[in-house]
Amino acid sequence: MTTDNQIIIFDTTLRDGEQSPGASMNQPEKLRIATQLEKLGVNVIEAGFPAASEGDFEAVKAIAETLKTAQIAALCRANKDDINRGWQAVKNAAHPRIHTFIATSELHMKYKLQMTPEQVLEQAVESVKLAASYTDNVEFSAEDGSRSDPAFLCKVFEAVIDAGATTINLPDTVGYAIPEEYSELIKHVMQNTPNMDKAVLSVHCHNDLGLATANTLAAIKAGARQVEVTINGIGERAGNTSLEEVVMSLHTRPNFFPQTTSIDTTKIYPTSRLVSMITGILVQPNRAIVGANAFAHEAGIHQDGVLKNPMTYEIMKPETIGLSKNSLVLGKHSGRHALNSHIQEMGYNLSKEELNKVFEKFKHLADKKKSIQDEDIEALINEGVLRSSEVFTLEYINVVSGNTVFPTASVKLNINGRPVQGATAGSGPIDAVYNIISKLTGTTSELLRFTISALTEGTDAQGEVTVRLQEDGIVALGKGTDPDIITASALAYINGLNRLEYLKSHPIVKPDNL
């Protein structure tokens, strides 16, 4: 339940967020993120687009059947098949929602849909009626709303509210709006849709001009009551409005925004890390709220001020978003219990079996690295628990390299339980490792991007490698961490190959391409 002053947080990390290039997730990964979003206090979770693929359908269904308090929305185009399929996926949820959409701008109607405005209006109404025959929780979105004729928008909104829509969404689909203009449009729609008081007005902004959060906040000021957001702002093209920016703006500026949210802000940082780990999409260091530098003060004058009184330069406390102050935590002698309580403090709840796996990896790492920090523990959770449906796993790796030898790598892999091994050379150690892995797995992916960074400070830090692979037009990200950067590179490559395998058997079709 939300009060009148409370903004409804609709999170679409698992749907629009998954439309980020290479960000596709498998079912256990989606379930894990959904569970974390519920803990974060999100009101509505858009779990996916069930008509897009069998995999998406199953993931939405599993989320709907597992979560207890959040509303679970299924995205459906405005047609019978999509809505029937969407309902089958969410019908067992404690609080199901059907979210149906059709484009209303002249451009989209004429060129994409090749339909007249009258036909669009009729299809919108029919679809909402069908959705409302299943549930009284129906959202309607006017795709490309911000570029639609305001009079036509109001006409469509009035008709779909009469047909049973309880939430009306006005998206800035292509990230074209400017805050003042978007705010005027919101006000216009509220004043000129006679039955608007029977529905919640929602906004959904894309970040093509870097204005998604500004537009969303302007819309809240103008009277919008639901905001559609993603963790870390991931999403189609330049992404969506980020949950953390909107929530922390309301939280930090209560004198300007009387509106509140149900978000537990201390879970923002762990959720951001989880989404980054699972999708492999790194958070840029200077990103607001959740970036590595968001609370780092480099300049001496800032450091001095912060030491005297943190409020001199810090408008938010790191603890408010769940960034623990003391991240130097555990070492070789720490036991399972200490590890578990720290993992819980970081916002994760692992089963006994998962904890055992992470503990084993922790001991192994502690033998190599003196102090284990939060970033290391997150990486262990990623490697030990979050990875699933793996076709390929690494058994061992041995590399010879240097400035006087020809780099060679021998690798042993497990492919669906079958051991395979081989050795080959390359222009450098990573080239050699990737050559032999590609040969052993029989894959032909192209390496589009390779990045490496240190997870923490110190020369004994773990290396974190992210790769972007492409095979047969499918793009996947892979991530690997290890104190040995060649091993980290191999793990990232193997992770990317596993993701490609998953995507080949679970093709994802984006709503816009259907």
Binding site for ligand KIV (CB under 6 A): 16, 101, 141, 143, 169, 171, 173, 204, 206, 511
18 binds Zn ion (CB under 5 A): no
Kindly indicate which of the ranges 14-22, 112-120, 273-281, 426-434 contains the residues binding Zn ion, using the contact rule CB under 5 A: 14-22
- The dihedral through the CA atoms of 219, 199, 136, 86 has a sign that is negative
Residue with tokens 């009101």: 43
Task: Name the residue among 302, 283, 301 with its Cα closest to residue 293.
Answer: 283
Is 240 one of the annotated binding-site residues? yes
Is 206 one of the annotated binding-site residues? yes
464 binds Zn ion (CB under 5 A): no
Q: Which is nearer to ligand KIV, 413 or 508 (CB)?
A: 508
Helix boundaries (H) for 41-116: 54-66, 80-90, 106-107
226 binds, among ligand KIV, Zn ion, none (CB under 5 to 8 A by kind): none
Residue 367, judged by CB atoms within 10 A of its CB (0-12, 13-18, 19+), counts as exposed
CB of 173 to Zn ion, least distance (A): 6
d(CA 274, CA 166): 32
101 binds, among Zn ion, ligand KIV, none (CB under 5 to 8 A by kind): ligand KIV
Q: Which is nearer to Zn ion, 16 or 383 (CB)?
A: 16
Instruction: Decide if 364 contacts 457 (C-beta within 8 A).
Output: no
Q: Which amino acid is at 117?
A: P
Instruction: Out of 11, 16, 375, 482, name the contact with Zn ion by CB under 5 A.
Output: 16
143 binds, among ligand KIV, Zn ion, none (CB under 5 to 8 A by kind): ligand KIV
378 binds Zn ion (CB under 5 A): no
CB of 204 to ligand KIV, least distance (A): 5
Q: What are phi and psi of 8, to 5 degrees?
A: -80, 125
d(CA 316, CA 319): 9
d(CA 308, CA 43): 39
348 binds, among Zn ion, ligand KIV, none (CB under 5 to 8 A by kind): none
36 binds, among Zn ion, ligand KIV, none (CB under 5 to 8 A by kind): none
Length of the chain: 514
172 binds Zn ion (CB under 5 A): no
H helix or E strand, kind and range, residue 118: helix 117-134
Q: Which amino acid is at 197?
A: D
Q: Which is nearer to ligand KIV, 202 or 249 (CB)?
A: 202
d(CA 12, CA 48): 8
- The dihedral through the CA atoms of 343, 349, 352, 355 has a sign that is negative
139 binds Zn ion (CB under 5 A): no
DSSP of 137-196, one letter per residue?
-EEEEEETGGGS-HHHHHHHHHHHHHHT-SEEEEEETTS---HHHHHHHHHHHHHH-TTG
Task: Name the residue among 296, 264, 279 with its Cα closest to residue 232.
Answer: 279
CB of 74 to ligand KIV, least distance (A): 12
- Does residue 12 sit in helix, strand or coil? coil
- Does residue 117 sit in helix, strand or coil? helix
CB of 18 to ligand KIV, least distance (A): 11
481 binds, among Zn ion, ligand KIV, none (CB under 5 to 8 A by kind): none
CB of 169 to ligand KIV, least distance (A): 6
Q: Which is nearer to Zn ion, 240 or 498 (CB)?
A: 240
Q: Which is nearer to Zn ion, 18 or 482 (CB)?
A: 18
Kindly indicate which of the ranges 15-23, 208-216, 274-282, 392-400 contains the residues binding Zn ion, using the contact rule CB under 5 A: 15-23
11 binds Zn ion (CB under 5 A): no
Spell out a b/e string for 378-410, using b for 16 or more CB atoms within 10 Å of the CB, else e: bbbbbbbbbbeebbbebeebebebeeeeebbbb
CB of 171 to ligand KIV, least distance (A): 4
Residues within window 309-328 making contact with Zn ion, judged by CB under 5 A: none
CB of 342 to ligand KIV, least distance (A): 38
Q: Which is nearer to Zn ion, 74 or 486 (CB)?
A: 74
CB of 12 to Zn ion, least distance (A): 7
55 binds, among Zn ion, ligand KIV, none (CB under 5 to 8 A by kind): none
- The strand pair at 463-471 and 96-103 is best described as unpaired
20 binds, among Zn ion, ligand KIV, none (CB under 5 to 8 A by kind): none
CB of 312 to ligand KIV, least distance (A): 40
144 binds Zn ion (CB under 5 A): no
Q: Which is nearer to Zn ion, 10 or 434 (CB)?
A: 10
| Residues at the contact surface with Zn ion, assessed by CB under 5 A | 16
Annotated binding site for Mn(2+): 16, 204, 206, 240
Annotated binding site: 16, 204, 206, 240
